[in-house]
Amino acid sequence: MARDATARLYDVDADNVGLEIKTGTITFRAKKGRLVDLDKLHESIWATRLSGKTGMAMNWIDVTAEGEVVLDQAQLRLKVTGSDQVFLLADDTKATRKSAEKAPFAQLKEALGRGEKVVSVTGRVEGWGGHFPDFLKALPKKPLVILVKEFEVAKH
């Protein structure tokens, strides 16, 4: 049901929606030249009317967003290319990494400090998780926050 709800979205490439039954993972991509509206994704899943009796939940959603990262009022923001959508960027404090390894968020800040232009960010969207129907009752708070897992800088 959730896979079908995702595939129904206008901006989702229905031919590239996959469901891994074993892990319960749904993967999808936006249509070329389109952006997936997370509010509409939430609404589409809500429309399935999945109840708590199903045992289903949204564990997380990972996104890759392309755009420009800027420092605004002491916060890093990603302005998505071709839209007015903005994500705040933050450290994923729950991520596990080797003790000597710097967090991707810290690496991103260092790259910006060196004058590099960050063009995309991948990470988990904060607040996108919970059991149905509780998670589906209300949209996650705005502005949405991406907990940075990786990023890409412009190639020179």
pLDDT along the chain (156 residues), means of 10: 58 79 81 82 76 74 92 89 92 82 92 93 91 81 92 88
Total of domains in the chain: 1
- pLDDT score for 14: 78
Residue 154 covered by a domain: yes
**CATH number of the domain that 70 lies in?**
2.40.50
Residue 80, domain extent:
61-126+138-156
Cα separation, 20 vs 8, in Å, equals 18
Residue 3 covered by a domain: no
Task: Please tell me the pTM assigned to this model.
Answer: 0.84
Cα separation, 119 vs 121, in Å, equals 7
